[in-house]
Amino acid sequence: MCGIFAVVNDKTNNAAQTVLTGLKKLEYRGYDSWGIAIKPGRSTEAVDRLQVEKHIGKIGEAKTNLPKGKIAIGHTRWATHGGVTDENAHPHLDCHQQIAVIHNGIVENYLEFKEELIKKTHKFSSETDTEVIAHLIEEKMRPSVIPSEERSDESRNLEKAVFETFNSLVGSNAIGVIDFESETIIACRNGSPLVVGVDEKNHQFFLGSDVPAFLKHTNRVHFLDDGEAVVITKQGVKLFNVKSGQEKKLILQQLDWQLEDAEKGGFPHFLLKEIMEQKETIAKIASINEKEILEIANLIRQGFRTVLIGCGTASYCALAGKYFFANTGFESQTYGAYEFLPFSQFANNKTLIIAISQSGETADTLIAVRAAKKQGAKIVAVVNSRGSTLERLADIVLSVGAGPEIAVVSTKAFTAQLVTLYLLAEATSNKYEPGKKKIKELSKALHNWLNKQLTNRLIDLAKELIDQEHIYLIGKHLNYPATLEFALKLKESSYIHAEPFAAGELKHGVITLIQKGTPCFVLASNDEVKGEILSSAAELKARGGRIIGIAPFNSYEFNEVIQTPDLGELTIFANIIVGQLLGYYLGVGRGADPDKPRNLAKSVTVK
């Protein structure tokens, strides 16, 4: 969840500012506080310790007061252990301020370490689990611990101390360590993402939790796998097995991401930009993954039990996928990945797990996948981010290619994943080519429909709803998961309580919530259950509800309607996009940050 960034050999000799700029690109990962540690350059006043600056709050337009230098690390925090205070912000120092540590994850056994270190006179200044890492490394580098014949090799001692410390930590963690004396940065990964970037032209080296942090400098990268570590010096980057300490060959890949993919491009917020990009990203899916989709479809036809899992938005995508498969005559099951473990015992070598995750680093999804894989299941990863843990665990990868998604609220990645599942379902019933044609028609319809007239209508509606405390939504069949996703966008973006229900639940207690003027959204399509959903809308209207139809038609039961393109079962895409846009405009109107909603982080890498 937290964001890690570091630079070595900064060409501007202003590494702190370079790190600050990179951290701003990672605010979506966590942002209740931030901090930077730097070794000042020779041109600055001589100091014998690392210089640290850290603050609570968002980075915004902040500027650092740190001295110039060529090597620095930084961090954006999403609090787990310890409150949101300057003291608990990262980086954390050892007693002599020679070592600074940044960390993403949770050290589950930190208390036992802390108690022992306090007995050895180490002084702690925070409530975090992270600070023990700095002191553990310091303890392992004490002259009394290091054999005399090894004390001359400072960098080797640091490497050994960091690796030993990291191997002793329990939990899912990624750390970055900067050492004053050797001017070295060491990073280790076990569960939480890390990526190295190499700018060969300027001989600069970068470390980040995600590529957008350094994309303006280079797209030549290596994604660290679990159990890998990198040692970054002025000379270059070396890759190691953190368990054995053995060096490995560093293989770089060149991403096709462009800098403009991670910039706002004239939009006021990333969220609005990414909503509008769906006109292009949805069409793109029709031209990729054909070989993999046909391979998976063949497995399903062979009788593989199909299970779709995900968390949050991805779980709603999975549920919609279940309806797509049902519409083509194939049964599947869905689980929130966080509730899958009791059912993982039923997985076997005839089970196909389709795991959906924007980042590919969602902790609960990875836990579920590992449990199923242990039982012999075949794993399909439906992911957007490149180089993720889920990709490495998967037998088959469906990369949805939506490009960097910077806003915490997922939009274009969600619809790209949903298109992927639709095409897979169509391929399973030997209708892949007609399915691709329908997706292209969907994209064309969105181009015509996503216009100024629509956005003005939604802005007016947002103004009318801006002071509401409760909004209710109903849908049926495919529009039920659409309703779940629509409501989530309202909650995430605007902080309004938005509660979705299957229309069939109304008579079973839910209708008691409806009073005169209560906003009730009804998501509908021209499908076999149109009459039933309109009947439910009439029940809400009879109780005084303000009925807002989201549908390709108008109806007597609606007080008003936001009309969407009539695209058969694909109508749900436009219905969902209305929720994305309405959530955005409500959030802006209520003073929320659409790109970085409170308490949320993009990649949920802890349990």
Does residue 374 have an active-site annotation?
A: no
Beta carbons of 223 and 208 less than 8 angstroms apart: no
* Contact yes or no for 257/404 (Cβ under 8 A): yes
Tokens of residue 233, six digits: 């010096």
- 602 catalytic? Reply is yes
Query: What tokens appear for 336 in the block?
Result: 């929130």
The active-site residue, picked from 489, 530, 602, 607, is 602
DSSP string, 74-114: EEEE--SSS-S-TTTSSPEE-TTSSEEEEEEE--TTHHHHH
Tokens of 372: 């199923």
Tokens of 219: 């797209």
Distances in Å between the alpha carbon of 259 and those of 205, 206, 215, 219, 327?
A: 18, 16, 6, 9, 40
Give the strands of the sheet with 497-502, arranged side by side. 497-502, 470-475, 519-523, 546-551, 560-563
The residues near 361 (Cβ < 8 Å, ≥ 6 apart) are 192, 193, 385, 388, 389, 390, 603, 605
Catalytic residue among 2, 188, 311, 317: 2
Distances (CA, A) of 588 to 157, 450, 498, 585, 591: 52, 19, 17, 5, 5
Question: Which region holds residue 147: left if phi is over 0, alpha if psi is between -120 and 50, else beta?
Answer: beta
Closest CA to 512 of 551, 547, 539, 546: 539
CA atoms within 13 A on the CB side of 530: 14
Contact 34, 17 (CB under 8 A): no
Q: Which residues are catalytic?
A: 2, 602
